[in-house]
Amino acid sequence: MAKAKDDLENYVNDKRLMLERHSDYTGRKERRKVGDVLEHVTQWLEWNTFLTEADKFEDKLKEIQNICDPILAKMQQQHNDSGASKATPKIEVVDLD
What is the pTM (predicted TM-score) of this model? Answer: 0.76
Taking the C-alpha atoms of residue 45 and residue 78, their distance in angstroms, rounded to an integer, is 31
Angle between helical axes of 54-87 and 28-47 (0-180°, round to 10): 150
Which domains does the chain show, CATH number per domain?
2-76 (1.20.1270.10)
Taking the C-alpha atoms of residue 34 and residue 28, their distance in angstroms, rounded to an integer, is 10
Among 78, 79, 64, which Cα is nearest to 15's?
Answer: 64
Q: Each residue's pLDDT tens digit in the chain (97 positions)? A: 789 999 999 999 999 998 888 878 788 898 899 999 999 999 999 999 888 899 999 999 999 999 999 988 888 888 788 765 554 555 666 667 5
Dihedral in degrees, nearest 10, Cα atoms 6, 39, 30, 78 = -40
Contact between 54 and 3 (Cβ < 8 Å):
yes
